[in-house]
Amino acid sequence: MTGISPTTAPRKTRRQKVFAVLPTLLTLCNAACGFGAITIAAKIGPEQISGTELLVTAAQLIFLAMLFDMLDGSAARLTNQTSDFGAQLDSLCDAISFGVAPGFILLQLANPDHKLLMATAIPFPPRLLWAIAVLFMACAILRLARFNVESDEEDSHEFFSGLPSPAAAGVVASFPIGIRELNEQFTSASLISKYLQPTLAILLPLITLAAAVLMVSRIRYAHVFNQMIRGRRSRNQILQIVFAMVLVFVVREMALPVLFCAFAFSSPVRALWQRYVRPPAPVVAVSSDTDAA
């Protein structure tokens, strides 16, 4: 006698199956958000009046995909349903939401025919924009494939090798939201709007190109979510959180591009500073008493 009634085991089995499906559903919701962002951004044309609002909706779907990307891993660990299948499925969905969708948003936002940036400066040729978008997508796929090969179950995931693909997608997706806030705060005739938007028309493709290169780099990036939730928060991290909250309170949605760009480019700047500006102090060999003898 095992002490377990015949009706108890099937119930537990059904409950386990439900828990096993939950991480998969969250991962597929990530892909659905990425596909929705692409379809909404594809509606923008030269005669589309609400092009900025459509891009904002597409960008919001990418941020929603980031939320699902964080939840599926947590759900898999809580339900003890981590597997190689889930890891591969997560990367396939991330390739859509954080590789294809941001690249397509860049094409729609920086396209001079759509006039979303009111670019009066020299625009990028459409073929060059397409090449940057394709490179961003390719680097995101390479970044995800490298992560699957190099990560193991015992990894604490406190740091990443290269810019994470969700953060790189956030760099691109944050600009439509920030540009909408910029248009609402300043009129098209103001000096800020007159000079800042043409500057963004030039800088945005270059920022996207830099984010693509950083994804396949070996620069170390902190896993912000794991360090904030699981680890012990340091004084610098608390100061960064306070600064981010103040920035969001002051400039609201325009803080998103600033915060994402700060995260993406602070690590390479710090690495270059430590390597070339402040090289490590030379190690002085101290001879022992036996050597002296």
Reported in sequence order, the residue ranges of 121-241 that DSSP labels E, i.e. its strands, are: 159-161, 220-222
Residues linked to residue 220 through DSSP beta bridges, in sequence order: 161
- Contact yes or no for 261/204 (Cβ under 8 A): no
Query: Exposed, middle or buried, 222 (CB in 10 Å: 0-12/13-18/19+)?
Result: middle
* Three-class secondary structure of residue 159 per DSSP: strand
- Whether the predicted model's global pTM rises above the 0.75 cut: yes
Note the pLDDT of residue 293. 45
Placement of tokens 């920086």 in the chain: 110
Sign of the Cα pseudo-torsion (247, 168, 276, 235, in order): positive
Token pair listed for 151: 């990560």
pLDDT on residue 73: 81
> Residue ranges per domain, the chain?
13-278
Give the mean pLDDT per block of 10 residues along the chain (293 residues): 49 53 90 96 75 89 94 81 84 95 92 66 78 96 90 64 92 90 66 69 91 93 64 61 65 80 89 74 51 47
**Residue 55 near residue 108 (C-beta atoms within 8 A):** yes
